[in-house]
Every structure is written in C-alpha cells, then in structure tokens.
C-alpha cells in the first residue's frame, strides 16, 4: 500500500476556541466571520487546522468539525491542495474497541466532508482506565494501515506514556507522527516535568503546542485594572497576572525590538522551541495577528531571556487534568 507523507506547516490553527465558543452559544451569524479567518489562514500558508469530535457538545455535538468541513469545502484559492485537517477522537467510556474508534473516525470524516489527514487520540486513559487505551489506539493504527488517514497522533501524553505506546505502534508497523500538549510561556510542565520534547526528538515525533497564548494571558489583552473573564478563568487570571511583571516586561522589550505584538512574540517563542503552535482564531483580525508570528525568528539569547522571565512566574496555567506522565 502507498503511504502518503504528512508535511506539517510551521504554524497551524486550532479550533479549540471555536469549540469553546460553540459551548458558550453558537449562532449561524458566526459562520461568515469564521470563514474569513479560515480563508485568510490558508492563503497565508497556515494550512493545518486542528479540531476534535468533542468540540461542541449536546445538540451541537461535532459542530466544530462540521464548520471546519464547511469552510474547507467552500475555500478555493492559493494553497487549497495543502489544507491539512486534523481531529482528535475522545476516548469516551463507551468507546471500548478498535472498531468503536474507527466508527468515530467515520463520523468525524462525514462531518469534515473528506478523509481526515491526521487522526489523534484526544487524551490518554492511563490515569483512570489504562485497560481501555490499547484497543482504542489499535483502532487508529488500523486506520493508518488501511490508508484511510495520512498520519496518526496523540494528545496530552507525557514522555513515559508516550514511550510505552510508541512501542505498541512500532509493533503494529505504524509511526506516531505528532504529539499535542498544552505548551506556552505560562505552561511548560509537559516539557520540563514530563520530558515530552526529549522523547519526541528521540522518536521523530512532531510536537504541537495547543493553547500557546495561555487563553489570552500572553496577548496583552488582560490586566488587573480591566474587566476579566468570568468563571474559572477569572480566578486563574487573578492569581497569574500579579506574577507576570518580569515576563511582561521582557515581552514588551522584544515587541519594541521586532515591531511585533505580544501574541506574535509568544507564538514565535513556541516555534523557536521546535513546536507547531496552534492558536485559536475566532475572527479575521486574530488570524492576521497570528500570521505575524511567521517570517522572522527570535535570537537564541532572546529565547533564553524569555525562559528566565517565564521561570519567575510562580503561578502558571492549570494543566489539563487528562495529561499523563
């Protein structure tokens, strides 16, 4: 069987923000706004789009995938043939067999209106149901064996668990192409505590950074003298913002040097760390700002300065509870 290559761009666009937005109250009026963001990204060479079958729950189940499929089908123009659609399949408790994951894939593919390029396990069940995991991963491997996808990846895995499942995939004759973890200047535990970068480099796995702007904390949008988001983010932001003085000062200095925004500097840091960041883009303006992180590069000394400034923040972003070691 012929295997297809999966050439990932330097930066992708995540639909995490789109998925959450659907949960908060989706309306069809958003479609045109999101289509404009999608079209701009593809034209600019940002062609990796990541979503998940759990984004949009209840009556909107899978709505994020449906929107992404709609936008992909409607787009005609530059880089059209380079669009990469990636989705993450959730290991729900009722998904117990390889066949259940393949059925979930078919549903995602129908919503996306095309075969999925990169199919990923959304999180590891190692923390609560380790017996469930191998069968589900085997289902992903069988999709690759049948050439139904161009690559298989995983998400929220730590270095130890990644090594273990990598051996399973090796035995099945299928490579793991990507690992997706929460990673930013304010969320470095997957690398510093769980060693994912070292393992990915050793095993030839591309690291993808989700939430690279720390839910907006690295955009300069929020401060203690301005209204903060409600809910859980409100509490987290109130704890983190007072600790960010040194990091913000470093980011502002680099903004002035490179004539870039704070978000663009933070995304470029992720790129310099060897990851593909996937910032959310809910409108054209955000997509345009994200694109400004490409085409230039922080120096090694500037990256080190940011590393030191980030280390001064004692209260950082909460980790995904499904992150394994």
| Residue 257, phi then psi, degrees to nearest 5 | -65, -45
Task: Give the integer Cα–Cα distance in Å for 247 and 238.
Answer: 16
- pLDDT for res 153: 98
Q: What is the pLDDT of residue 59?
A: 56
Report how far residue 217's alpha carbon sits from residue 240's, in angstroms, rounded to the nearest whole number: 9
CATH value at residue 158 = 3.20.20.100
254 is in which domain, residue-wise? Answer: 12-311
Least confident of 23-27, 58-62, 193-197, 245-249: 23-27
pLDDT band at 98 (very low <50, low <70, confident <90, very high): very high
How many Å is the maximal CA-CA distance in the chain?
60
Residue 5 lies in a domain: no
Half-sphere exposure of 210 (CA within 13 A, CB side): 23
Question: pLDDT above 70 covers what percent of the chain?
Answer: 92
Q: With contact defined as beta carbons under 8 Å apart, do 211 and 16 qualify?
A: yes
Which two three-digit tokens encode residue 134?
Answer: 């191998």
Q: Which two tokens stand for residue 112?
A: 């996306």
Q: Report if residue 196 sits inside a domain.
A: yes
Say if 116 falls within a structural domain.
yes
Write down the pTM of the prediction.
0.92
- Residue 27 pLDDT grade (very low, low, confident, very high; cuts 50, 70, 90): low
Nearest CA-CA partner of 52 in 208, 268, 202, 236: 208
Mean pLDDT of the chain: 90
DSSP 8-state secondary structure symbol assigned to residue 62 = T
321 occurs within a structural domain: no
CB 260 within 8 Å of CB 292: yes
The answer to whether 298 touches 265, Cβ cutoff 8 Å, is yes
More confident residue, 282 or 289: 289
User: Does 3 map to a domain?
Assistant: no
Given a cut of 80, is residue 301 above it in pLDDT? yes
- Active-site annotation holder among 26, 55, 157, 183: 55
Phi first, then psi, for residue 187 (nearest 5°) are -155, 85
**pLDDT grade, residue 320 (50/70/90)?**
confident
Please give the pLDDT value at position 78. 93
Q: What is the pLDDT of residue 203?
A: 97
The tens digit of pLDDT for each residue in 223-272 reads 888 888 888 888 888 899 999 999 999 999 999 999 999 999 999 999 99
pLDDT of residue 311: 95
Q: Which residue has the higher pLDDT, 127 or 306?
A: 306
Question: What's the pLDDT tens digit per position in 180-210?
Answer: 999 999 999 999 999 999 999 999 999 999 9
Q: What is the pLDDT averaged over residues 274-291?
A: 93
Rg of the chain over Cα atoms, rounded to whole angstroms, equals 19
Task: Identify which of 65, 154, 63 has the alpha carbon closest to the alpha carbon of residue 115.
Answer: 65
36-63 mean pLDDT: 85
Q: Which tens digit of pLDDT belongs to each residue from 153-186?
A: 999 999 999 999 999 999 999 999 999 999 999 9
Averaged over 75-90, what is the pLDDT?
A: 95
In a domain, 323, yes or no: no
| Residue listed under structure tokens 């983190």 | 240
Count structural domains, the chain: 1
- Backbone torsions φ then ψ of 62, nearest 5 degrees: 75, 10
Q: Where do the H-state alpha helices sit in the chain?
A: 16-25, 30-43, 63-74, 98-112, 130-145, 159-172, 189-192, 196-203, 232-240, 245-258, 262-272, 284-291, 300-311
Domain for residue 72, yes or no?
Answer: yes
* Sign, Cα dihedral of 195, 196, 197, 200: positive
Report whether 325 contacts 160 (CB < 8 A).
yes
Q: Among this protein's residues, is 183 annotated catalytic?
A: no
Q: What pLDDT was estimated at residue 86?
A: 96
Using CB atoms within 10 Å of the CB of residue 253, give its burial: 0 to 12 exposed, 13 to 18 middle, 19+ buried. middle
Does 1 reside within a domain?
no
């Amino acid at each position: 069987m012929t295997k297809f290559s999966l050439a990932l761009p330097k930066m992708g666009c995540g639909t995490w923000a789109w998925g959450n937005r659907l949960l908060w109250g989706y309306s069809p009026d958003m479609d045109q706004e999101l289509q404009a963001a999608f079209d701009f990204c593809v034209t600019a060479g940002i062609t990796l789009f990541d979503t998940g079958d759990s984004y949009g729950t209840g009556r909107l189940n899978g709505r994020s995938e449906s929107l992404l499929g709609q936008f992909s089908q409607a787009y005609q123009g530059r880089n059209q043939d380079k669009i990469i659609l990636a989705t993450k399949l959730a290991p729900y408790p009722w998904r117990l067999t390889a066949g259940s994951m393949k059925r979930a894939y078919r549903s995602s593919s129908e919503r996306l209106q095309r075969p999925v390029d990169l199919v990923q396990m959304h999180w590891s069940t190692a923390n609560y149901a380790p017996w469930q995991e191998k069968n589900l991963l085997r289902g992903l491997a069988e999709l690759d064996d049948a050439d139904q996808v161009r690559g298989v990846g995983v998400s929220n895995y730590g270095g130890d668990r990644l090594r273990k499942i990598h051996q399973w995939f090796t035995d099945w004759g299928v490579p793991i192409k990507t690992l997706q973890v929460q990673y930013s200047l304010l969320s470095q535990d997957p690398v510093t505590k769980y060693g994912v970068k070292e393992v990915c480099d050793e095993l030839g796995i591309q690291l993808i950074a989700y939430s690279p702007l720390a839910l907006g904390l690295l955009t300069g949008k929020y401060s203690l003298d301005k209204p903060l988001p409600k809910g859980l983010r409100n509490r987290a932001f109130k704890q983190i913002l007072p600790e960010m003085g040194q990091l913000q000062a470093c980011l502002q200095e680099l903004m002035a040097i490179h004539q870039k925004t704070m978000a663009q500097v933070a995304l470029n840091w992720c790129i310099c760390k060897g990851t593909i960041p996937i910032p959310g883009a809910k409108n054209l303006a955000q997509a345009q700002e994200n694109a400004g992180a490409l085409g230039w590069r922080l120096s090694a000394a500037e990256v080190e300065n940011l590393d030191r400034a980030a280390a001064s923040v004692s209260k950082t972003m909460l980790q995904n509870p499904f992150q394994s070691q």
